[in-house]
Amino acid sequence: MTGRRWRRKWRHDLPDPRTLFAKIWDRHVVASLDGGADLVAIDRIFLHERTGAAALNSLKAAGRPVANPSRVFCVMDHIVDTRPGRDDRTLMPGGQAFITETRAAARDAGITLFDVTDPDQGIVHVVSPELGIVLPGCTLIAPDSHTCTQGAFGALAWGIGSSEAEHAMATGTLRLARPKTMRVTFTGELAPGVTPKDMMLALIARHGAGGGKGHAVEFAGSAVEALDMEGRMTLCNMATEFAAMTGMIAPDEKTFAWLDGRRYAPGGAMLAAAVAEWRTLATDPGAAFDAEIAIDAATIEPMVSWGTSPEHSAGISGAVPIDAPERPLAYIGLGPGQPIGGTPIDAAFIGSCTNGRLSDLRRAAALLKGRHVAPGVKALVVPGSMAVRRAAEAEGLDRVFTEAGFEWRMSGCSMCFYAGGESFPAGSRVISSTNRNFEGRQGPGIRTHIASPETVAASAIAGRIADPRDIAA
Partner 1 sequence: MTPFTVLTATAAPLIRDNIDTDAIIPSREMKSTGKTGLADGLFSPWRYLSPGGRDPDPAFVLNQPAYADARILLGGVNFGCGSSREHAVWALAEYGIRAVIAPSFAPIFAGNCTRNGIVPVVLPADAIAGIAAHGGAVTVDLPAQRVSLADGRAWPFDIGAEAKAMLLEGLDAIDLTFKHRADIAAFQAADRKARPWIYLGETKA
Give contact residues for ligand SF4 (rule: CB under 6 A). 78, 123, 144, 146, 352-353, 413, 416-417, 434-435
Closest approach of ligand SF4 to the CB of residue 234, in Å: 11
Residues in the chain: 473
User: Are the C-beta atoms of residues 271 and 265 closer than 8 Å to each other?
Assistant: yes
133-153 CB burial, b ≥16 within 10 A, e <16: bbbbbbbbbbbbbbbbbbbbb
Distance CA 39, CA 424 (A): 45
d(CA 330, CA 279): 50
The residues facing 369 across adjacent strands are none
Min CB(312)–ligand SF4 separation in Å: 18
Q: Which stretch binds partner 1 (CB under 8 A): 58-66, 295-303, 452-460, 464-472?
A: 58-66
The distance of closest approach from Cβ of residue 149 to ligand SF4 in the complex, given in angstroms and rounded to an integer, is 8
CA distances from 374 to 99, 292, 379, 406 (A): 36, 43, 10, 11
| Residues in contact with partner 1, shown as a per-residue x/- string from 335 to 374 under the rule CB under 8 A | ----------------------------------------
Q: Which of residues 376-415 bind partner 1 (CB under 8 A)?
A: none
Considering the complex, what minimum distance in angstroms separates the CB of residue 121 from ligand SF4? 13
Nearest distance from C-beta of residue 335 to partner 1, angstroms: 20
Which listed option, partner 1, ligand SF4, none, makes contact with residue 123 (CB within 5 to 8 Å by class)?
ligand SF4
* Closer to partner 1 by Cβ: residue 115 or 301: 115
Residue 353 contact, options ligand SF4, partner 1, none, Cβ 5-8 Å cut-off depending on partner type: ligand SF4
Q: Which of ligand SF4, partner 1, none has residue 413 at its interface (CB below 5 to 8 Å by kind)? A: ligand SF4
Question: How many residues interact with partner 1 (rule CB under 8 A)?
Answer: 79
Complex with partner 1: residue 264 or 319, whichever CB lies closer: 264
The answer to the question of residue 265 lying near partner 1 (CB under 8 A) is: yes
**Which strands form 38-41's sheet, in the order they lie side by side?**
29-32, 38-41, 173-176
| Residue choice 420, 463, 471, 473 for contact with partner 1 (CB under 8 A) | 420
Alpha-carbon gap, residue 158 to 165, rounded angstroms: 11
| Cβ nearer to ligand SF4, comparing 193 with 443 | 443
Coil, helix or strand at residue 154: coil
Smaller CB separation from partner 1, 198 or 311? 311
Decide whether 24 or 316 has the Cβ nearer to partner 1.
Answer: 24
Q: Which does 213 bind (CB under 5 to 8 A by kind): partner 1, ligand SF4, none?
A: partner 1
CB atoms within 10 A of CB 94: 11
Residue 102 touches which of ligand SF4, partner 1, none (Cβ within 5-8 Å per kind): partner 1
Closer to partner 1 by Cβ: residue 221 or 438: 438
134 near 118, Cβ under 8 Å? Answer: no
CB-based contact 293:184 (threshold 8 Å): yes
Backbone torsion region of residue 71, taken as left when φ is above 0, otherwise alpha when ψ lies between -120 and 50, otherwise beta: alpha
d(CA 214, CA 210): 9
Give the one entry of partner 1, ligand SF4, none that residue 162 binds, where binding means its C-beta sits below a cut-off of 5 to 8 angstroms depending on kind. partner 1
Interacting positions 276-315 with partner 1 (CB under 8 A): 277, 309, 311
- d(CA 99, CA 104) in angstroms, rounded, equals 9
449 strand-pairing partners: 431
Given 91, 191, 226, 243, the residue binding partner 1 (CB under 8 A): 243
Query: Cβ of residue 444: shortest distance to ligand SF4, in angstroms?
Result: 17
Q: How far from chain centre, in Å, is Cα 429?
A: 23
Nearest distance from C-beta of residue 173 to ligand SF4, angstroms: 24
